[in-house]
Chains A and B, each alone.
Chain A
Amino acid sequence: EAQVTQNPRYLITVTGKKLTVTCSQNMNHEYMSWYRQDPGLGLRQIYYSMNVEVTDKGDVPEGYKVSRKEKRNFPLILESPSPNQTSLYFCASSLRTYMNTEAFFGQGTRLTVV
């Protein structure tokens, strides 16, 4: 089954404790992206990747890191989480062609930083 898998689904952590949210897709998609969703603000893009070893900042990259060492995986790293990073996070992937940029989303990771 074609899917984007995020882990964990829920995470409560303390300020400053490094964490990683994993994202994996099994569709051989080139493009992957991380979004955060906050009430009233919609989805804001954190980082995106066009292909292996190619990453770029989105609208709200501060406090986050990503890596794309393999095509299927795109982990999101919070080196020193802060309470303002409490949010619902989504990973998405798509086959980047001119005709179709439909994005497939993971189920989300609800992160609480205390």
Chain B
Amino acid sequence: SQQGEEDPQALSIQEGENATMNCSYKTSINNLQWYRQNSGRGLVHLILIRSNEREKHSGRLRVTLDTSKKSSSLLITASRAADTASYFCATAGGSYIPTFGRGTSLIVHP
């Protein structure tokens, strides 16, 4: 069953703005990952945050994890048109098998 659920389902912003998307999950996890998917293509791994970490950065990406609330957020700062894609969170629990949510569709207007 799908573990993570992203929110919002769709997000439309202007270039230069920040984009924030959230992920909620139900059971305990070992780590949480964020992926990007350009239209019809394979998913690309962006960042992994472990259950004992609270925040992680990678370039313009900032991920937070709140295990008490079972939620994570992905912030993309100074967004670009090339950031237009769908973003998925994936959680991995005891079996380390990543389970994906339905994704957030981000459109960045030039």
Contacts and interface: CB of A to CB of B under 8 A. Distances in A.
A101 B92 contact: yes
Contacts of A104: 45
A40 B99 CA distance: 16
Nearest to B50: A99
Contacts of B45: 102-104
A33 B95 CA distance: 13
Interface of B: 1-2, 30-31, 33, 35, 40-45, 48, 50, 88, 90, 92, 96-103
B43 A41 contact: no
Interface stretch (A11-19, A67-75, A106-114): A106-114
Interface in A34-59: 35, 40-45, 48, 59
A78 interface: no
- The bracket for how many chain A residues form the interface is 20 to 34
A42 B100 contact: yes
Listed from nearest, the 9 A-B pairs whose CB atoms lie closest are A42-B102, A105-B42, A43-B100, A105-B43, A101-B92, A102-B45, A101-B96, A107-B42, A96-B96
A88 interface: yes
A36 to B, nearest CB: 11
A8 to B, nearest CB: 15
B97 A108 contact: no
Contact of A106 (B31, B42, B96): B42
A98 B92 CA distance: 10
